[in-house]
Structure 1
Amino acid sequence: MSLIDPDSKCYEEGVKLSQRIGQRIQELDQREWDFKMKQYKNREDKEKALIDAVRDIGVAQANNQPKNVYNIKGWW
Structure 2
Amino acid sequence: MVKARVTVTLKNGVLDPQGKAIGAALASLDFEGVENVRQGKVFDLELATDDRQAAKDELNAMCEKLLANTVIEDYTVEIE
TM-score category (smaller protein):
under 0.3
TM-score (norm 1): 0.23
TM-score (norm 2): 0.22
* Bigger RCO of structures 1 and 2 (CA < 8 A, at least 6 apart): 2
Name the structure where helix makes up a greater proportion of residues.
1
Name the structure where strand makes up a greater proportion of residues.
2
